[in-house]
A and B are shown apart, each in its own frame.
Chain A
Amino acid sequence: MSKVRLLVGTRKGAFVMTADGKRDKWEISGPHFAGWEIYHMKGSKVNPNRIYGSQTSGWFGQVMQRSDDGGKTWEAIGNKFAYEGEAGTHQWYDGTPHPWEFKRVWHLEPSLTEADTVLAGAEDAALFKSTDGGQNWVELSGLRKHGTGPKWQPGAGGMCLHTVILDPKDPERIYIAISAAGAFRTDDGGKTWKPINKGLHSQYIPDPNAEVGHCVHHIAMHESRPGVLFMQKHWDVMRSDDAGDNWTEVSGNLPTDFGFVIDVHAHEPETLYVVPIKSDSEHFPMEGALRVYRSKTGGNEWEALTKGLPQKDCYVNVLRDAMAVDRMDECGVYFGTTGGQVYVSSDGGDSWKTVAEHLPAVLSVEVQTLS
């Protein structure tokens, strides 16, 4: 019988949670790296026991971890992230030039074909690649140097490259997203990049339709249709059917279209999940009710999913990398909150249960479906 393994990064350590296919009873191990911020962990699809982790601290900087036994034991790997050549400047919050400075790794994306190859999305925004299991990292500097870099500006969470999506049908194509620069795509394995933000509209920047400068919070893709992308922007839920070349808004009847997470059902490419958040000033659900919204029509028409979720006095946030879906026959959906809860739905979102209730603030959730 298949089982699932959740990789939960929190502000104070990492947790590994396992359950059988019923996803009813969970074993929780952790905290690993207690006291450290674990921004993200993700397992290799080639070798699921190979897991990469980003461990950070305001005091001690960036540490990288790798497990080769499914998260039981870990080994510190290379943590040297050097920008290639002259680092240059981006815009600071006040619009003045500010030098690029490495701060941390937000997201790790293992290769779909090589267990030793992994990409790391960093703050200040850059994409790094390792081909030796994380011992050494080289910047794919074509992104940072493609021309608009000096116009990029940090979002409230810093100038982070937080989303990396690999095209399963075209190994040369990668999508990334940066707050607050926008989305970018390479079609040549990372040598050259282009902004893919046409159709995004952001009232909070000087030119609302600018080529770059949009605060993209997260992007999701279904692996069967790598040219179809769904985006949770700062405000607005967006959709592209041409690999990001053009975007249209699909917020539809959402009560608010601010939010961070977005994900796609494992077996239904038009079924989407978001967690609407009240506003960019009040980062909690509307009316103190935690509701996942699901669209079965690729956007525009949304339904609230509330069964098993707190419907009063709930004032948590769900951060951009804190939702995931498994690949069980009945798709499981997972998300974690800044209040330390991890929720699971083993029926595609119809009902929810708590996996853990009192963790530190959850920064990221990934799930592995294991045979």
Chain B
Amino acid sequence: MVRVEIPYHLRTLAGVRGEITLDVAGVVSVKSVLDALEARYPMLEGTIRDHGTLQRRAFLRFFVCEEDWSHEPTDKPLPEVIAAGKEPLLIIGAIAGGCSPHGD
């Protein structure tokens, strides 16, 4: 079981509390974890990565064992401690940005 933490607003969107645990088939990578996450919670599609390009949204970051994996290839295998569920994959919202103009 892989453990994943997602930002507060995505937890409310998905209707979950706390960490999410997922069965991830095959190689455990950021991509395969997100595939499993979106399969379980379809309302999260498009909120972490773009529908078409699958690129990470600009103001989100992936943290793995206290390291920023945001710019690593998403199919790179995650460390065993993540794959084994000993440590969670952290998906974190940046403390910046997010302001959208509205012509006001």
Contacts and interface: CB of A to CB of B under 8 A. Distances in A.
Q: Do A and B bind each other?
A: yes
Contacts of B50: 61
Contact of B102 (A60, A62, A63, A157): A157
Nearest to A217: B103
B51 A82 contact: yes
A56 to B, nearest CB: 7
A33 B43 CA distance: 13
Interface in A180-224: 217
Interface residues of B, number: 28
B100 A58 contact: yes
B21 interface: no
Contacts of A338: 104
A79 B103 contact: no
A157 B51 contact: no
Given A59-B60, A60-B10, A63-B13, A80 B102 contact: no
Q: B interface, by DSSP: helix, strand, loop or mixed?
A: loop
Nearest to B9: A35
B103 A76 contact: no
Nearest to A337: B104
Given A36-B9, A60-B13, A63-B46, 4 more contacts: A80-B51, A157-B101, A283-B104, A338-B104
A104 B104 CA distance: 17
Given A36-B9, A59-B57, A363 B102 contact: yes
A317 interface: yes
Interface in B1-55: 7-10, 12-13, 42-43, 45-48, 50-52
B46 A57 contact: no
Nearest to A316: B104
Interface stretch (B66-74, B76-84, B90-98): B90-98
Contacts of A36: 9
Contacts of B97: 58-59
Contacts of B57: 59-61
Interface residues of A, number: 35
Interface of B: 7-10, 12-13, 42-43, 45-48, 50-52, 57, 59-60, 93-94, 97-104
Given A76-B43, A80-B46, A59 B9 contact: yes
A363 B101 CA distance: 11
A260 B103 contact: yes
Contact of B103 (A60, A62, A80, A319): A319
9 contacts: A57-B47, A60-B93, A61-B46, A62-B46, A80-B45, A80-B46, A156-B101, A156-B103, A363-B102
Contact of A63 (B43, B101, B103): B43
A34 interface: yes
Nearest to A55: B13
B94 A317 contact: no
Nearest to B97: A58
A122 to B, nearest CB: 13
Interface string A13-37: 0000000000000000000011111
B46 A76 contact: no
A14 to B, nearest CB: 13
Given A79-B46, A157-B101, A34 B12 contact: yes
A76 B41 CA distance: 10
A319 B103 CA distance: 8
Given A59-B97, A60-B57, A320 B103 contact: yes
B43 A58 contact: no
Given A62-B46, A63-B47, A104 B98 contact: no
A48 interface: no
A82 B53 CA distance: 11
A317 B104 contact: yes
A368 interface: no
B9 A319 contact: no
A204 to B, nearest CB: 14
Contacts of A361: 104
Interface in A302-330: 317, 319-320
